[in-house]
Amino acid sequence: MDIEPIEELDLGGSQLGACRFDVEPSCSVDLGEPIQQQSGASTGHFSTIDSHTTVARAPDQTPVDQMLLAFTGRAWEAEEMTQNPAAPTTPLGSVGSLGTAVVSGASSGIGAATAIALSTIGFDVVIGARRVERLSEVAKQCPGPVAVHQLDVTDDGSVNHFVASIPECHVLINNAGGALGVDPIATADIAKWQTMYDTNLLGTLRLTKGLLDKLTDSGNGHVVVVGSIAGIEFYRGGAGYNAAKAAQHSFCEVLRQETVGLPIRVSEVQPGLVETEFSVVRFDGDQDRADAVYEGLTPLSALDVADLIAFIVTRPPHVNLATTLLLPRDQATVAVTHRS
């Protein structure tokens, strides 16, 4: 079952801490046979590696050292960047970058916004999702080196291929997931429950397990899981999604215990109401029903969540924001909101 959004990507612009990054409008990319060469475009250069992978590099990039300093204002980052000046046009895994960040479910929404944010502050970025053409659109909006891979987190073979293609990993953003339907338990669609469990929990397990050694070898690995308020607060009609996200939350808690003493941090971000295509997918394409979820209040945006993730992964190595609940001002709990 395909639960990825189908509409055009439109991220607008965002304020990343004190660092402004502007996102160009999305555009269609005619891929032809697997992925065709894109050359001379002002938004970047693409080159084919295989049928699953593309590397993109923007031709005229602004060095990220001052941008990162503006974003964090931390002396340790200034010292580190003085020793390792940024080299934005170098290949993935270069010494000059902040390291390699891997983002799953990066074809839209929170995943796409996070990939762009991490690229903006100086990470080499590896992005994965099922729809490579959507990933290519996201890659054009990343100012630094990007590797584009086809990835289905519910498929062992796809994950294995994805992991094998990544030489090193410093940050893993487990973002792939989603909700399907709001049926009560009495009439629950077991197939939808299975898909939610496989995507949200087992997808996180597959990818984390596959990259754990590389995260450890990096000397400063960081696993970030995009969970949900639904994993800690439960509601009628949400049992399937609640169960999947609660299991994902438990996964994070246990992984943090099992990796203590290793150079790995484990963080979970639990957003509340975020206006992406999440609800459109949940309601099987019913836009009016999806719009009603956010009616009368100002929800979070994908860029709000990406801003937080960028902050979390740029803390000093001894600092771990373990679990962060992120809500719009108009939301107090799953059930308590203020609507005008």
Q: Enumerate the active-site residues.
A: 241
CA dihedral 70, 73, 74, 75 (to 10 degrees): 90
Q: Could you give the C-alpha distances from 51 to 58, 69, 134, 150, 231, in angstroms and in order?
A: 21, 38, 15, 9, 36
Output phi, psi for 246, to 5 deg.
Answer: -65, -40
Q: Could you give the C-alpha distances from 169 to 44, 67, 195, in angstroms and in order?
A: 23, 22, 27
For residue 10, the tally of other CB atoms under 10 A from its CB is 9
CA 209 to chain centre: 17
Output phi, psi for 146, to 5 deg.
Answer: -135, 135
Q: Can you tell me the distance from the alpha carbon of 35 to that of 126, in angstroms, rounded to the nearest whole number?
A: 16
CB 102 within 8 A of CB 173: yes
Tokens encoding 311: 């902050």
CA 101 to chain centre: 10
DSSP 70-134: HHH--HHHHHHHHHS---TTSPTT-TTSS-EEEEESTTSHHHHHHHHHHHHTT-EEEEEES-HHH
CB 140 within 8 A of CB 146: no
Q: Can you tell me the distance from the alpha carbon of 153 to that of 156, in angstroms, rounded to the nearest whole number?
A: 7
Q: Exposure pattern of 177-206 as b/e (b: 16+ CB <10 Å)? A: bbbbbeeeeeeeeeebbbbbbbbbbbbbbb
CB 54 within 8 A of CB 148: yes
Count Cβ atoms within 10 A of the Cβ of residue 315 and give its class: 0-12 exposed, 13-18 middle, 19 or more buried.
Answer: middle
